[in-house]
């Protein structure tokens, strides 16, 4: 398929039509030139392929298949291999179903636990999100299926998402919200990016050149194609100029007509249109060449895989007195509707048609378990009969396991949460059971954090998040010790909603949402404010214990071009095999540029038998120590003393070592008459001038008794006032003329 030849033979109308879909899920074909239409479908945690009526909200029927653990569960694995395995499985299914692109992963950041779509996204941390998403993208694309990373960008809420304007400062935008996309482009080589519905700082992303060309293509080297979210186009011609290649869904004839008209009347250069068409033809060509039509999939094997992955994702949040694992000889009660019909995925475009959902009760067929419904998931009212029955069953058992969580109506695409509480009837049930049964365990099915007013009354909490179609099998294995939980929460669990950093600015007002918390999202905020929480980022327990030792660094001083190798040892000091998500944080200097206390910069999942010890190795470059500096539109590593902190969570740092960083980057400063004197120290010329002035001032002081306007003041006060005095003070107090001052400023800025 010679795409340049095809382009040269296409009519203007055919080119214009190529920039819109031909239907809800297909690109445009050009039959006479042998260009087929290719299909794209949602993900991100299963294949939602609609054969009949189509929609982007999970309403119409899609093929029966397997759904896997969703975003927060996958992220809790802290395991790149888990995401690779998922990408392979879904990639094969796409090949078997002749789907050329999966609309996923979703990498928006969990700015607030209130976002209705958090169940679909990974984390509050951009590094973890980017690394895991890049692993998924790589393995999906190795199967010849394009990934379409979404929703680029600034779409961290559902409220008014299709028209809202995200107001965010440049540093926060890059450091927190863009860097996951950057990782999927640079590391994952993503073939497609989905532009979000919303605007950023007044400019709709779907027609924003800065986002779609300057950042995405020129800065990051993206060479794929950009597709709108469904119905997310703004001005189609302006979008083409900005770097938007494809409008979806298809079926809007006006788009092509307007593109043709714009080319004909000279307001759109045909070369711009040709670039978009070439991007689309490249995608179609790659889909054809990488097509594997004889791919067969075994949905039974995939259902087993779903359980295997969930075993790596579930998080043991609490386990007092080693309540878990449960002895198989125990008399166990499974209480709660979710024991039979677990919530395992979220509503909306990611909704997978699962014919054989496996709940824990039905999957526990070889164990003696009594069931009581306890509550109705689609109701928040307590049913006294169900409650009484559950209490009776709990009393008669050795252990009561409560299967609870958020019903579908509490979190979904298109709708944000207004609180983070569980349904009242479930909280009442949990309290009632814990009152009569000291051995009470809670299994939590949720797509995002919830408050736990009963946390001190229960012995253990296992969070399975939304664990996919086979969550029941995985839950049983974890509860009875056939598998050892190793997940760690990829988001902070606050004690109450009011503690969250976005609380005062979510979801904004009349479609404008200001990210006023800046970079202080999630643990970055709680650590800076030294706040307590229910469970900190990176927290997760195991049925065994791990010790950390022997932290070593290849060099204790680095500069911009250097790399540093960090090693440490992790040992399983318990008596069952387990896996540990070892986290590497960089502790930032707190006396320079505003920085979070520490930031996750690498992680590794280590599998250890009892008594086994392994060395873990990390390699860090400048980016690990850097923040995004708008003055240079790039990442900057500031000179100072940092620490490398190895942790079992963000609040459980086991090893730490200081690292001296010497930056060779001099940030540009434009001096003015009001630039503080202290800023002279930031440039070579400024330092030279400061030295001259100091010598002069000392000479002047020895000639005359010092008189000043400061009166009696502390040494600190005087130093501060001199340091922060604007350069123009040299005219008022240093005998310098305004012309001399301006000449100095010109020299400094030259």
Binding residues for ligand GLC, per CB under 6 A?
A: 42, 56, 103, 150, 229-230, 349
Task: Report the C-alpha gap between 417 and 591 in whole angstroms.
Answer: 37
- Rounded to a whole number of angstroms, the minimum distance from the CB of residue 318 to ligand GLC is 34
Query: In terms of CB distance, is 127 or 351 closer to ligand GLC?
Result: 351
Number of helices and strands in the chain (H, E):
21, 25
Tokens of 596: 């979070």
Tokens of 3: 């795409």
- Rounded to a whole number of angstroms, the minimum distance from the CB of residue 27 to ligand GLC is 14
- Rounded to a whole number of angstroms, the minimum distance from the CB of residue 230 to ligand GLC is 4
Query: In terms of CB distance, is 141 or 439 closer to ligand GLC?
Result: 141
- Rounded to a whole number of angstroms, the minimum distance from the CB of residue 62 to ligand GLC is 11
Sign of CA pseudo-dihedral 53, 55, 61, 67: positive
Query: In terms of CB distance, is 177 or 230 closer to ligand GLC?
Result: 230
Query: In terms of CB distance, is 248 or 534 closer to ligand GLC?
Result: 248
Query: In terms of CB distance, is 103 or 428 closer to ligand GLC?
Result: 103
602 is known as an active-site residue: no
**Residue in the block written with tokens 């059971």:** 433
The active-site residue out of 42, 125, 229, 645 is: 229
**Residue in the block written with tokens 């000043």:** 708
Tokens of 260: 């043709």
- Rounded to a whole number of angstroms, the minimum distance from the CB of residue 151 to ligand GLC is 6
Task: Report the C-alpha gap between 352 and 119 in whole angstroms.
Answer: 14
Query: In terms of CB distance, is 15 or 161 closer to ligand GLC?
Result: 161
Own/partner pairs, 232-237, CB within 8 angstroms, 24+ separation = 232/162, 232/195, 232/196, 232/197, 232/206, 233/206, 234/204, 234/206, 234/207, 235/207, 236/19, 237/262, 237/267, 237/268
Is the separation of the CB atoms in 573 and 623 below 8 Å? no
Task: Report the C-alpha gap between 487 and 485 in whole angstroms.
Answer: 6
Beta pairing partners, 646: 584, 655
- Rounded to a whole number of angstroms, the minimum distance from the CB of residue 152 to ligand GLC is 11
Listed residue (289, 271, 240) closest to 7, CA to CA: 271
- Rounded to a whole number of angstroms, the minimum distance from the CB of residue 148 to ligand GLC is 8
- Give the relative orientation of helices 299-313 and 471-479 as an angle to the nearest 10 degrees: 40
Task: Report the C-alpha gap between 128 and 520 in whole angstroms.
Answer: 16
- Rounded to a whole number of angstroms, the minimum distance from the CB of residue 626 to ligand GLC is 31
Query: In terms of CB distance, is 349 or 544 closer to ligand GLC?
Result: 349
Reduce the DSSP state of residue 517 to 3 states and report it: coil
Task: Report the C-alpha gap between 680 and 748 in whole angstroms.
Answer: 9
Task: Report the C-alpha gap between 362 and 75 in whole angstroms.
Answer: 27
Reduce the DSSP state of residue 424 to 3 states and report it: helix
Name every residue whose Cβ is closer than 8 Å to that of residue 325 and which is 6 or more positions away in sequence: 478, 479, 480, 481, 543
Query: In terms of CB distance, is 107 or 730 closer to ligand GLC?
Result: 107
* DSSP secondary structure letters along 554-597: S-SEEETT--EEEEEEEEE-SSS-EEEEEEEEEEPPSSSS---S
Query: In terms of CB distance, is 230 or 537 closer to ligand GLC?
Result: 230
Strand ordering across the sheet containing 315-319: 315-319, 460-463, 440-445, 399-405, 332-335, 369-372
- CA 536 vs CA 73, 109, 574, 648: distances in Å: 16, 17, 23, 11
- Measured at CB, which residue is nearest to ligand GLC? 56
- Rounded to a whole number of angstroms, the minimum distance from the CB of residue 103 to ligand GLC is 4
Enumerate the active-site residues.
229
């Amino acid at each position: 398929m010679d795409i340049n030849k095809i382009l040269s033979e296409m009519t203007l109308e055919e080119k214009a039509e190529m920039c819109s879909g031909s239907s809800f899920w297909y690109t445009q074909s050009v039959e006479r030139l042998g260009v087929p239409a290719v299909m794209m479908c949602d993900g991100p945690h299963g294949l939602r392929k609609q054969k009949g009526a189509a929609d982007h909200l999970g309403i119409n029927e899609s093929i029966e298949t397997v759904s896997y653990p969703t975003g927060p569960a996958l992220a809790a694995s802290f395991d790149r291999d888990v995401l690779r395995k998922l990408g392979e499985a879904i990639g094969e299914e796409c090949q078997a179903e002749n789907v050329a692109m999966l609309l996923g992963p979703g990498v928006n950041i969990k700015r607030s636990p209130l976002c209705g779509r958090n169940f679909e996204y990974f984390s509050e941390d951009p590094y973890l999100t980017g690394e895991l998403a890049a692993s998924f993208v790589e393995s999906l694309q190795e199967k010849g299926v394009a990934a379409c990373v979404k929703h680029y960008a600034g779409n961290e809420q559902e409220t008014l998402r299709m028209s809202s304007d995200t107001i965010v400062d440049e540093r926060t935008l890059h450091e927190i919200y863009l860097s996951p996309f950057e990782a999927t482009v640079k590391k994952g080589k993503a073939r497609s990016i989905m532009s979000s519905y919303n605007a950023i700082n007044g400019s709709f992303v779907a027609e924003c050149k800065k986002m779609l060309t300057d950042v995405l293509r020129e800065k990051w080297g993206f060479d794929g194609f950009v597709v709108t979210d469904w119905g997310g186009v703004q001005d189609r011609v302006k979008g083409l100029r900005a770097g938007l290649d494809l409008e979806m869904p298809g079926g809007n004839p006006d788009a092509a007509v307007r593109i043709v008209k714009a080319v004909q009347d000279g307001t759109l250069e045909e070369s711009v249109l040709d670039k978009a068409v070439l991007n689309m033809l490249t995608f179609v060509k790659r889909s054809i060449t990488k097509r594997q039509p004889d791919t067969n999939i075994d949905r039974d094997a995939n259902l087993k895989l779903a359980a295997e992955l969930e075993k790596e994702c579930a998080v043991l949040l609490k386990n007092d007195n080693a309540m878990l694992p449960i002895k198989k000889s125990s008399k166990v009660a499974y209480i709660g509707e979710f024991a039979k019909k677990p919530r395992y995925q979220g509503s909306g475009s990611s909704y997978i048609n699962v014919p054989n959902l496996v709940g824990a009760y039905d999957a526990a067929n070889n164990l003696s378990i009594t069931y009581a419904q306890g509550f109705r998931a689609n109701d928040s009212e307590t049913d006294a009969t169900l409650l009484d029955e559950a209490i009776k069953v709990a009393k008669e058992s050795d252990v009561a396991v409560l299967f609870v969580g958020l019903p579908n109506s509490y979190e979904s695409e298109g709708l944000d949460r207004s609180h983070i509480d569980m349904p009242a009837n479930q909280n009442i049930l949990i309290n009632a059971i814990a009152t009569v049964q000291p051995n009470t365990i809670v299994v939590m099915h949720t797509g995002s954090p919830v408050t736990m007013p009963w946390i001190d009354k229960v012995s253990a909490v296992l969070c399975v998040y939304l664990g996919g179609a086979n969550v029941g099998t995985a839950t049983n294995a974890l509860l009875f010790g056939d598998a050892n939980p190793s997940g760690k929460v990829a988001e902070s669990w606050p004690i109450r909603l009011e503690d969250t950093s976005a609380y005062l600015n979510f979801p904004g007002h009349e479609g404008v949402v200001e990210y006023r918390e800046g970079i202080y999202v999630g643990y970055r905020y709680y650590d800076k404010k030294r706040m307590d929480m229910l469970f900190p980022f990176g927290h997760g327990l195991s049925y065994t214990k791990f010790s950390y030792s022997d932290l070593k660094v290849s060099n204790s001083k680095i500069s911009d071009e250097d790399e540093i190798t960090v090693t440490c040892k992790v040992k399983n000091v318990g008596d069952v095999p387990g896996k540990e998500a070892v986290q590497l944080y960089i502790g930032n200097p707190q006396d320079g540029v505003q920085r979070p206390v520490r930031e996750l910069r690498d992680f590794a999942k280590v599998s250890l038998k009892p008594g086994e010890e392994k060395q873990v190795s990390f390699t860090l470059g400048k980016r690990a120590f850097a923040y995004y500096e708008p003055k240079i539109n790039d990442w900057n590593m500031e000179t100072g003393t940092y620490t490398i902190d190895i942790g079992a969570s963000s609040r459980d740092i086991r090893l730490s070592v200081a690292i001296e960083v010497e930056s060779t980057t001099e940030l540009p400063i434009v001096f003015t008459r009001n630039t503080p004197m202290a800023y002279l120290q930031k440039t070579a010329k400024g330092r030279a001038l400061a030295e001259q002035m100091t010598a002069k001032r000392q000479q002047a002081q020895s000639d005359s008794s010092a008189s000043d306007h400061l009166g009696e003041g502390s040494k600190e006060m005087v130093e501060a006032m001199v340091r922060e005095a604007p350069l123009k003070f040299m005219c008022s107090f240093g005998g310098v003329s305004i012309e001399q001052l301006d000449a100095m400023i010109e020299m400094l800025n030259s």
